[in-house]
Amino acid sequence: MAPGALTRALGKNWWLFLLRGFAAIMFGILSLIWPGISLVTLILLYGAYALVDGACALFAGIFGTSAIAPRWWLVIVGLLGIAAGIATFVWPGITALILLFFIAGWAIATGIFQIIGAIQVRKEIDNEWWLILNGVLSVLFGIAVFVMPGAGAVALIWLIGFYAILYGVLMVGFAFSVRKLNALPA
């Protein structure tokens, strides 16, 4: 099957997925290294991660080379991430409960859009399940946070840390699976 414009765009921009994965892994590791981190520091760490992740997704959505590619979901995910990051810096005194619900909503929205995007590209790429698993993981994480908002701060930090590391590993796996698409002939 000849590669489509979307396949070439994914292959060309594989490094953006890799950056998103590494940003998530770093965020997760930092959260686990300092489990007694203050809420303000957690908010700032989360804000930085959301900004980097959102900027990478937005860049891929706007500057992708495919005219027919369903990039709208990357633009939405990017805008949501940037908005989440900015909101955490503008209101650093946000309460733990609001932060929890904010993170949960962002994770669910991101996961849904990743699942939709993976389904839309499944005929053009192999191993789209990496992105589907990432989406499912994000949705499950968001639901868990909504269901158990009263979890202790340290438990929350550990949960967020492990989620971010697993999310990052899956995103890195997806990046390397689409990297080979860069070598496909036009």
pLDDT tens column, 79-114: 998 998 898 888 776 656 777 788 889 889 999 998
Q: Is the pTM of this model over 0.85?
A: no
Are residues 52 and 15 in contact, defined by beta-carbon separation less than 8 angstroms?
A: no
**181: DSSP letter:** G
Are residues 107 and 84 in contact, defined by beta-carbon separation less than 8 angstroms?
A: no
127: left (phi over 0), alpha (psi -120 to 50) or beta: left
As a whole number of angstroms, the distance between CA 46 and CA 59 comes to 20
Owner of token pair 């990478």: 56
Are residues 163 and 136 in contact, defined by beta-carbon separation less than 8 angstroms?
A: no
pLDDT in tens, the chain (186 residues): 456 777 777 778 888 889 989 999 998 998 888 776 656 677 788 888 889 988 988 888 888 765 555 678 888 888 998 998 898 888 776 656 777 788 889 889 999 998 998 888 888 878 888 889 999 999 998 898 888 776 656 677 788 889 999 999 999 999 998 888 776 666
Enter the tokens of residue 139. 């949705």
> Which residue in 6, 27, 36 sits closest to 155, CA to CA?
36
Are residues 3 and 126 in contact, defined by beta-carbon separation less than 8 angstroms?
A: no
**Where do the structural domains in the chain lie, given as residue ranges?**
5-181
The CATH architecture annotation of domain 5-181 reads Alpha Horseshoe (1.25)
